[in-house]
Chain A
Amino acid sequence: KQEVTQIPAALSVPEGENLVLNCSFTDSAIYNLQWFRQDPGKGLTSLLLIQSSQREQTSGRLNASLDKSSGRSTLYIAASQPGDSATYLCAVFKAAGNKLTFGGGTRVLVKP
């Protein structure tokens, strides 16, 4: 059974610092990995999707890496801003079946 873990569960940084969020998964047979953002009481917004054949994806200040063999992904957010405060979730799509498995999320607070 695929398990996805995100560490740390919560993170607080001053504005301007770079953020590093970690995600690990137990089964390397994945099609892709996605990072989502969730604001309090809201749905999820997709940030980046990395296919299993890719090593990284970038969008603006966001960069996500994927090391499938070691079951790890890292989301980097450069020059953090208070508007980046949210919960960040990673999810893996398994090779068989139409199913995303989510991690527990990392709650980020960026202080002005």
Chain B
Amino acid sequence: ETGVTQTPRHLVMGMTNKKSLKCEQHLGHNAMYWYKQSAKKPLELMFVYNFKEQTENNSVPSRFSPECPNSSHLFLHLHTLQPEDSALYLCASSTRTSGEPTDTQYFGPGTRLTVL
């Protein structure tokens, strides 16, 4: 399998549930990203990981908890979410790291999350 994959593709959860989103990249990249895309708002960066270390947290609420066990996998753990957290969550990866011009980021297909 090639590229960036995300599972699940669709998720419906209640506000008291705990769930996790998974992202996997097969491109040999060393940087991975989580983005949030809400209706009628620009795509927003949430987290950046370089070589498994978090280098950017864009003021994301603590109910979103990222985990990067290795350079190929990225998780987003969700708990006690709010209805306004419903959105498309996109994962991306790239070859460059902080402080240098970046190569193109390659995006996964996203997880459509609905919080009831």
- Give A residues with C-beta under 8 Å from B: 4, 31-32, 34, 36, 41-46, 49, 51, 89, 91, 93, 96-105
Instruction: Report the Cα distance A20→B110, complex, angstroms.
Output: 28
Which residues on B sit within 8 Å (CB–CB) of A99? Answer: 45, 48, 56, 58
Query: Across the interface, do A49 and B104 meet the contact criterion of CB distance under 8 Å?
Result: yes
- Give B residues with C-beta under 8 Å from A: 4, 6, 31, 40-45, 48, 50, 55-56, 58, 88, 90, 92, 96-99, 101-110, 112
Interface of A is mostly: strand
Query: Across the interface, do A43 and B110 meet the contact criterion of CB distance under 8 Å?
Result: yes
Q: Could you show 17 A-B contacts with beta carbons less than 8 Å apart? A: A41-B112, A42-B109, A43-B4, A43-B108, A44-B107, A46-B104, A46-B105, A91-B43, A93-B101, A97-B56, A97-B98, A98-B31, A98-B96, A98-B97, A98-B99, A103-B42, A104-B40
Which residues on A sit within 8 Å (CB–CB) of B97? Answer: 98
